[in-house]
Structure 1
Amino acid sequence: MVLKKRFNTEFSKNVFKLTFGTVLAQAIPFLMLPVLQKWFYSVSDFGILTHFTSIAAIVTSFASLKYEYAIVLAKDRIQQYNLTFLALFFTFAISILLLIIALVIPGSISELFKAPEAKPYLWLVPVSIIGFGGTQVFQYWYNKEKSYSFIAWSKFVQSFVGETAKVGGYYPFPGPAGLIVGRVTGQVASFIWMLKRMLNKEKEFFSSITFSRLNGVFNEYKSFALFTTPGSFLGVLTSNIHILILTSLYGLETVGYIGISFIYIGMPLGIIASS
């Protein structure tokens, strides 16, 4: 009886929604991986995807300067609007800067990690940062709104669209391009879906954005940029630097096996972590 009451609380229901969404989002790539391996992509293709994902994750870890963390602490709706805009602004700014670098000196970046095969796809890293980074910003927005079901569905959308696009993308973009385009498509689809819903409900969003208000929240919550961002960057760098090192030492095929292993191991570990 006591256990039943605990599960009937609002907190327990919200935890279940987020857990279910996370598990479902992880189950789709877990189930699709054998299909992609057998009929569509080689181990080296997955190696380039893993290399690509690591670079995108490292940059995304600091792109927003972690101002999205402050969204749940916003004192009123105006602050919430401006913090969301600020986090998105920094994410887009870093992405545009990286895009310029990727277009001007793509060879230097790929040579740095001794992965020339990744050179044609580096320009998609900024697009991935916008999609994934923007989605993270809106997860904090909807957390503030207590829209936990929507957060769960957004994870499902990202996973479902991404895996479907990997299959469909194989025909116009054979090789690693299909995997990368599929992943980026899922991230951007989730971001656009969350952005569209927010703008449809929040008609006063853009009219509430002013330079003075942005400057106000920038200074009030600058501790996230100064202290949280370096920690986040180091944490993600520590989790991904071995991929970049192994790429330069042993090549993309070895990294491909590691990336595939991550997907197979990630599903059961994700369930444990969510529990």
Structure 2
Amino acid sequence: MGRIRSWIKSKADHPVLKNILILVTGTTVSQAVAVVISIFTARLFSPDVFGQMAIYGAITSVIAAIAALRYDMTVVLPESDDEARVIGRLATRSVITVSILTTVLAFVLKDVIIDVWGDEELARWMPFAGLTVFLLAQVTLLQYWYNRKRSYKVIARNRVQQTVGSSGGQLVFGLVGVRSMLGLLFGVMAGHLFAFFWMNSKAKEFREAPGPDAPTMRYVAAKHKKMPLLNLPNALVDAVRTNGIVMIIGTFALGLVGQFNLAWRVLEAPIGLINGAVQQVFFRELADIKPGHMRPLIRITIRKALLLSAIPFGLIYLLSPWLFTFIFGEQWDLAGDIARALTPWLALQLVTSPISTVFVVTSKQHWMLAFALVFAAAPLTWLVFSPLAFIDTLTVLGFMMAVLLVINLVMADRAGADFDSKAIEA
């Protein structure tokens, strides 16, 4: 630990690391608070109720991932703030349209939802999905704007608000006796609403009207057409892969998906926080990097991420079966075994996630799309056709996904090498 502290101190003035530390500092505490709150909510709400909310969250996450047609991510790239504002308006229009369609479809497909997951309460509250999609997608858009402006403190604070607000809201509803899906849903919505309105109130510069020389919306849509044509399918496939697992498990039993979701949330929450912080900063720096420097940055990021993940994930693998029942209660007996099965996958996810934007910056989105198709098809196919028991199936799944992520690292390294070759040709 002494060597790690020394390294951090010695590098504190490095702009990339400094920005990463801004996003990570303080938010670790908020994630700890969220985990502590989940100890109580796990005793207030049953696995079946968490299963209902997991299906709702999976559906809205898939839709939110594509609601802006990936133009939200494009806000970081232009040199001109006016062009970025026009892109933001284009993304917002797309989000509003998709959100309205989501609500309409939730009413129209009510019987389909009941047939697939066998739960009328889930179908009853699905129309709120449109509002959830809007909040999730717009907050992501605003985060990319603040990423563009290097306002990492605002992004960090917003992540805290979303995490603590949603978890705290669920606890409040549980304590006052609303221990159905409605309690979990309204708790999450309260956190999202507060985070959205706070962040939007700070984005006055983003809401300014573009200048007279700003490009038209049609122009920026055509200029950045690779985002909806190539990056959007990649984002959709990735979202379906992650959330499709939850949806498939939910068709067997909502209680089972509740167990899975608790294990995933507890393990993925701090990982997602670190990944989100590193990825935001890494993407911004990659957008400015010159040929000849890409591959070294990728390789040093991979090495440090591997070192960062080794010890904590080793402990998770050893202790999780005992730890989950001790902390969350006997009704969550399967969650610990599920956490152990997922460990290899999540460990490699910590390594690959920060460099995933390499394929956007190097215009290799088609590489990532091809990989994403395999990465999505493999787990979903295995879950549907596995002849093994549930935990054994997840154990194989964890190692299978880890191997695929190693392949992804090799691809990222190659993309960096191709980008750097431009310096040699010049």
TM-score of the pair, normalised by structure 1:
0.89
1:172–1:211 distance in 2 versus 1, CA, 3 Å: farther
Residue equivalent to 1:179: 184
Rounded Cα–Cα distance in structure 1 between residues aligned with 2:91 and 2:146? 14
1:41-120 pair list within 5 angstroms: 41-120=45-124
1:210–1:114 distance in 2 versus 1, CA, 3 Å: farther
Superposed displacement of residue 121, structure 1:
1.4
Rounded Cα–Cα distance in structure 1 between residues aligned with 2:206 and 2:65? 27
Residue equivalent to 2:157: 153
1:44–1:111 distance in 2 versus 1, CA, 3 Å: same
1:227 and 2:237 are equivalent in the alignment: no
1:103–1:209 distance in 2 versus 1, CA, 3 Å: farther
- Secondary structure of the 2:25 match is helix
Residue equivalent to 2:245: 242
Residue equivalent to 1:190: 195
Give the number of the structure with larger relative contact order, counting CA–CA contacts within 8 Å between residues 6 or more apart: 1
The one of 260, 265, 268 aligned to 1:266: 268
Superposed displacement of residue 81, structure 1:
0.9
Rounded Cα–Cα distance in structure 1 between residues aligned with 2:7 and 2:268? 33
Report if aligned partners of 1:166, 1:183 keep a CA contact under 8 Å in 2: yes
Larger Rg: 1 or 2?
2
1:252 and 2:254 are equivalent in the alignment: yes
The one-letter code of the counterpart of 2:14 is T
1:144 and 2:148 are equivalent in the alignment: yes
The one of 154, 163, 184 aligned to 2:167: 163
The C-alpha deviation readout for 1:50-90, integer Å capped at 9, x for no partner, is 11111111111211100011111123121111111111211
Rounded Cα–Cα distance in structure 2 between residues aligned with 1:131 and 1:203? 17
Structure 1: state its 5+ residue gaps: none
The one of 25, 32, 38 aligned to 1:27: 32
1:211–1:264 distance in 2 versus 1, CA, 3 Å: same
The size of the alignment, in residue pairs, is 271
Say which is worse superposed, 5-14 or 80-89, in terms of deviation: 5-14
Superposed displacement of residue 174, structure 1:
3.5
The one-letter code of the counterpart of 1:59 is I
- Secondary structure of the 1:218 match is helix
The one of 10, 15, 18 aligned to 1:10: 15
The one-letter code of the counterpart of 1:47 is G
Identity, in percent, stands at: 21
Rounded Cα–Cα distance in structure 2 between residues aligned with 1:209 and 1:114? 55
The one-letter code of the counterpart of 1:260 is L
1:21–1:97 distance in 2 versus 1, CA, 3 Å: farther
The C-alpha deviation readout for 1:162-184, integer Å capped at 9, x for no partner, is 12211223337431111111112
Rounded Cα–Cα distance in structure 1 between residues aligned with 2:40 and 2:144? 34
Rounded Cα–Cα distance in structure 2 between residues aligned with 1:154 and 1:133? 14
Report if aligned partners of 1:81, 1:209 keep a CA contact under 8 Å in 2: no
Rounded Cα–Cα distance in structure 1 between residues aligned with 2:128 and 2:267? 26
The one-letter code of the counterpart of 1:257 is Q
The C-alpha deviation readout for 1:2-25, integer Å capped at 9, x for no partner, is 864422223221110122355344
Runs of 4+ residues deviating >6 angstroms: 209-212
- Secondary structure of the 1:75 match is coil
1:49–1:256 distance in 2 versus 1, CA, 3 Å: same
Superposed displacement of residue 241, structure 1:
0.9
Rounded Cα–Cα distance in structure 2 between residues aligned with 1:144 and 1:271? 19
Rounded Cα–Cα distance in structure 2 between residues aligned with 1:32 and 1:3? 30
TM-score of the pair, normalised by structure 2:
0.59
Rounded Cα–Cα distance in structure 1 between residues aligned with 2:184 and 2:154? 26
Structure 2: state its 5+ residue gaps: 1-5, 279-307, 309-426
Rounded Cα–Cα distance in structure 1 between residues aligned with 2:178 and 2:7? 55
1:61–1:51 distance in 2 versus 1, CA, 3 Å: same
Rounded Cα–Cα distance in structure 1 between residues aligned with 2:213 and 2:113? 37
